[in-house]
Amino acid sequence: MAQSNYDPEAFSKNLGLVLEKMQRASAQMVSQQGENPPAMTPQPDVAAAFFEVGAKLMSNPKAMWEAQVELAKEYFELWKHTMSKLAGEETEPLIRPADRDRRFKDAVWEENAAFDALKQAYLLTGEWVQKLVHNAENIDPKTRQKVEFYTRQAVDALSPSNFFATNPEVLRATLDSNGENLVKGMDHLLSDLERGKGMLQVSMSNPEAFEVGRNLAITPGKVVYQNPMMQLIQYEPTTEKAHKVPLLIIPPWINKYYILDLKPENSFVKWAVAQGFTVFVISWVNPDAKLKDKNFEDYMLQGPLAAFDAIEKATGEKDVNVIAYCLGGTLMSATLAYMKNKKTSDRVKSVTYFTTLTDFKEAGELGIFIDERQLENLEERMKIQGYYDGREMAAIFNSLRANDLIWSFVINNYLMGKDPFPFDLLFWNADSTRMPAAMHSFYLRNMYLKNKLIKSGGIHMCGVPIDLHAVDTPTFMLSTREDHIAPWKSTFEATKYFKGHIHFVLAGSGHVAGVINPPGKPKYQYWVNENTKSTADEWLKKAKEYPGSWWPHWAEWTKKYSGPLAPAHKPGDGKLRILESAPGSYVKVRS
């Protein structure tokens, strides 16, 4: 792998710079560690879970012996494979990376016998360890899930691709540049530590490449209403006529609304306006300690309910259609139950849920971070801050896909010394938001921990018992097949208790990419089956697959509840004055 342009003097000089910057980075992390404990620090109960699984494994020595013999056989077969490869023979590998695994894409991992052996040994061992944990007998499902998750984190972290000395692409870049890649990598590391105030925030996208209001969230519109919790944006029509019933979009407040208004070519908002909808979007506040006592019902009162009244003043229309995304959908389901109790739910002509959980029984791997002990620790920290730091939530979300959302950037930024690619979706992903302490505690305890939302009267909003089983609003449910945050089979459970017409659509890909799949450049497919009276697996088995974007399918469904076409409403036409231009000021507040 040696290169002709190798310069020992330049390499030595750069190595000295790398060591100096490493010392600075270490000192910065140590000095800030007490103030910003890592979000992924395992809790004491994780150690107890590993101890329990280990004890169960050791209590069955026969199974452990058989497992070790199996691994030894695989190592022996790998040794034979490597010897054959060194002898110049064509041999079939014992194990290959998964199709979506990009860690070993460099040709050297396959062409070079030593790196090929290292890669296969890692894959065989990682698969063996995870299989061992998965097959442990008499383990509580929650404990098993926790141990499997942290085992996978360890396996991912120990990949040879993550280390300088065992990554052929990094070694080649180091020799080609005489170590300049490592110097640049340490500069990136120091910059990320400074930006995170000692807590490492790995840059996923070039932070200078995008700016909200300049090249993201630029669909023309105006802020026509605001309160302490949100700003309401009304978008400029691009058609002479629009459907009579306005459309309100309620995003989650875990993230910022402009995931639905990224660049013009993949902006759902821009596209929906072009389909003849009068579009309004809630832009939630990025709360600080002053809003620590704001609860889930405050988000209802000053979110959708306030928006409905504001939209009526802006357009003269009492009726609305609603799109609610993720946590925004969880809120909207409770809001509809509240409105049903108050006999006002008929003003919502239809509701669309994007990747929304209402039954949290099987809430996916996020449940690993939510148990009584961890919640108590989190609540103690939130008492001091007054809010939950969005960077911690982002770190947890990223850990669910660690190879794609953590380690690939460690390699690119710190080992290869490359600048992050300017990717709008990842820029948004890093633009985290805080959450008020009272709201976040209520949400985690009542939904994730106790699953009370699904129980009739399990929670109360403003003194009203919430019963999702009474909701009969026509419903379009959009879930995504590879969703790690709102598993689609769990979202499907809502079809069993919502009344009225329910149209369930499953899109390809995950929680975000499956939603942001515009017709112009569709990457994924979607499935439709009108019969939701079956299990999720049965539904998918009989569902019809369609290529391309699901957006036009949604538009056709929603237009049935949108009324006739009428002269389009422009911001400022009604009783609400224009406060400022979109995207507004709330969305620009950084954590």
For strand 247-250 and strand 279-284, is the pairing parallel, antiparallel, or unpaired? parallel
Taking Cα atoms as reference points, which of 294, 452, 251, 301 lies closest to residue 388? 294
The one-character DSSP state at 241 is E
C-alpha radius of gyration, the chain, whole number: 26
How far apart, in whole angstroms, are the C-alpha atoms of residue 35 and residue 453?
35
Give the DSSP per-residue string, 436-453: EHHHHHHHIIIIIIT--T
E runs forming strands in 77-184: none
Q: How far is CA 316 from the centre of its chain?
A: 37
Angle, CA of 167, 171 and 173, to the nearest 5°? 120
- 42: its two tokens: 């395992």
Whether residue 232 contacts residue 225, with contact meaning beta carbons closer than 8 Å, is answered with yes
435 phi/psi in degrees, rounded to 5: -135, 135
The residues that bridge with 464 in the sheet, in sequence order, are 461
506 phi/psi in degrees, rounded to 5: -110, 125
How far apart, in whole angstroms, are the C-alpha atoms of residue 545 and residue 505?
10
SS3 506: strand
For strand 241-243 and strand 247-250, is the pairing parallel, antiparallel, or unpaired? unpaired
Which contiguous run of DSSP H or E holds residue 231?
strand 230-235
Q: Which amino acid type is present at position 398?
A: N
Whether residue 488 contacts residue 359, with contact meaning beta carbons closer than 8 Å, is answered with no
How far apart, in whole angstroms, are the C-alpha atoms of residue 531 and residue 526?
16
Q: Is the backbone peptide bond immediately before 583 cis, with ω within 30 degrees of 0?
A: yes
Whether residue 538 contacts residue 555, with contact meaning beta carbons closer than 8 Å, is answered with no
How far apart, in whole angstroms, are the C-alpha atoms of residue 320 and residue 335?
14
Active site residues: 326
Torsion sign, CA atoms 183, 189, 195, 201: positive
